[in-house]
Amino acid sequence: MKSISVIKKISVCLAGALAVFSAAALAACNNEEQETPVVKSGVAVCNAIEGIEKTEYVFCVSKKSGKAQTYLNAINAAIASTDVDALMTKYLNRQSMSMTYFLGELTIENKTGDPINIYTGVCSPYQFPGAFGSSVDGVDMYLMVKVANALEMHPVFNDWGYVAAYNAVKNGTGDILATAVAKTPEVEADFYISDVYSTGYQQIVSDKNEAFKSVSQLKGMRIAVIEGRPGKTIIEEAIANGELKDSGAELMVYDTDAEAYAAYEVQGCDVVVADEYSAKAMLKSR
Confidence of residue 38 (pLDDT cuts 50, 70, 90): confident
pLDDT tens-digit series, residues 92-136:
988 555 578 899 899 999 988 899 999 999 899 999 988 877 789
* Rounded Cα gap, residues 277 and 81, in angstroms: 21
Each residue of 105-124: b (16+ CB within 10 Å) or e?
A: ebeeeeeeeeebbbbbbbbb
Indicate the burial class of 250 (C-beta count within 10 angstroms; 0-12, 13-18, 19 or more): middle
pLDDT-derived band at 4, boundaries 50, 70, 90: very low
Domain 44-52+201-285: CATH superfamily is Periplasmic binding protein-like II (3.40.190.10)
For the segment 123-151, the average pLDDT, to the nearest whole number, is: 91
Residue 213 near residue 47, CB atoms below 8 Å:
yes
The mean pLDDT value of the chain amounts to 87
**Sign of the alpha-carbon dihedral angle for 191, 150, 137, 283:** positive
Amino acid 127: pLDDT = 93
For residue 192, what is the enclosing H or E element?
A: strand 191-193
Which of 40-54, 75-89, 182-196 is predicted least confidently? 40-54
Q: What is the pLDDT of residue 94?
A: 80
Q: What pLDDT, on the 0 to 100 scale, is given for residue 6?
A: 43
Asked whether 66 and 170 are in contact (CB, 8 A), the reply is no
Torsion sign (Cα): 17, 21, 23, 24 = positive
Give the span between the Cα atoms of 134 and 128, in whole angstroms: 9
16 or 232: which leads in pLDDT: 232
Question: What per-residue confidence (pLDDT) applies to 14?
Answer: 41
Answer whether residue 260 shows pLDDT above 70. yes
pLDDT, position 37: 66
Q: What is the pTM of this model?
A: 0.83
Domain boundaries, the chain: 44-52+201-285, 55-200
Chain centroid to CA 6? 70
Please give the Cα distance from 224 to 206 (Å, whole number).
Answer: 11
Share of residues in the chain with pLDDT > 70 (%)? 85
Residue 205 is predicted with a pLDDT of 96
Question: Of 270, 256, 264, 266, which is closest to residue 283 (Cα–Cα)?
Answer: 264
The predicted pLDDT at position 130 comes to: 84
Of 31, 78, 40, the residue nearest 58 (C-alpha):
78
Can you tell me the mean pLDDT for 78-91?
96
- What was the pLDDT predicted at 112? 86
Strands 115-120 and 176-182: parallel
Q: Is 167 exposed, middle or buried (0-12, 13-18, 19+ CB in 10 A)?
A: middle
Q: What is the mean pLDDT of residues 168-191?
A: 97
The answer to whether 68 touches 62, Cβ cutoff 8 Å, is: yes
Q: How far apart are the first and last CA of the chain?
A: 80
More confident residue, 285 or 110: 110
pLDDT of residue 113: 83
* Shared fold status for 44-52+201-285 and 55-200: yes
Residue 32 has pLDDT above 80, yes or no: no
Q: What is the pLDDT of residue 96?
A: 53
CA distance to 69, 76, 150, per residue, from 73 (Å): 6, 5, 11
pLDDT in tens, 196-213: 999 999 999 999 999 999
Instruction: Look at the domain 55-200 and name its fold.
Output: D-Maltodextrin-Binding Protein; domain 2 (3.40.190)
